[in-house]
Structure 1
């Protein structure tokens, strides 16, 4: 059984690294890292959103998200605004430039992911996602 677990762990790590590198390569032309993309994607889908909620949805710790947000602000990809209901909360949304860039990036991400899953049926992918969720649950 140990050899089987070793092979599963090794194969999982190899695939994860290859997928991450492929995504990183696709994002290079936009001068955005995969980590920055994950934050941009959350902001795009959930804006206006607080930094705390970005961290929760992106499954990253608060200091990491804070650093990424600082970079995205310097790149003029996101805007900050004070919450009208609670002035202690800062809400994030995409800037005009950010919206344009996110759409271009999304096209590349979808193409890249399409290549990852080429030849697999929707049913196979659903089983794969289900298995990954169970493994993730076991790790928590």
Structure 2
């Protein structure tokens, strides 16, 4: 996945165009991050429909590298609370590894996102969260 392809993927993600986002993935997919495990288009659409009902999420690329088998993104993920999302609601929806957010709150997190590729499609995604300064 070259930079142009990734920009198309990111544009679809930021626009909540989940069908287009899912088209970038080989099925079955393997996406694991912060306790969330997605294995199908339906899983992805269900998860992001839930999450984006509470927050506005966007990703900005800081650094990018790619090859035929891997795309690596150093990105800034911005989460803006649209309505309160508490620990209990996260847990009840299988998202206990995510952070609660209140309406109006903004969280910015630097993430390293690694996309394993096969035949031009994403087959696995892994994310790591960088510790805050002094953390």
Q: TM-score, normalised by structure 2?
A: 0.25
Larger RCO, structures 1/2 (Cα 8 Å, 6+ apart): 2
Between structures 1 and 2, the one with greater helix share: 1
Q: TM-score, normalised by structure 1?
A: 0.25
Between structures 1 and 2, the one with greater strand share: 2
Structure with higher Rg: it is 1
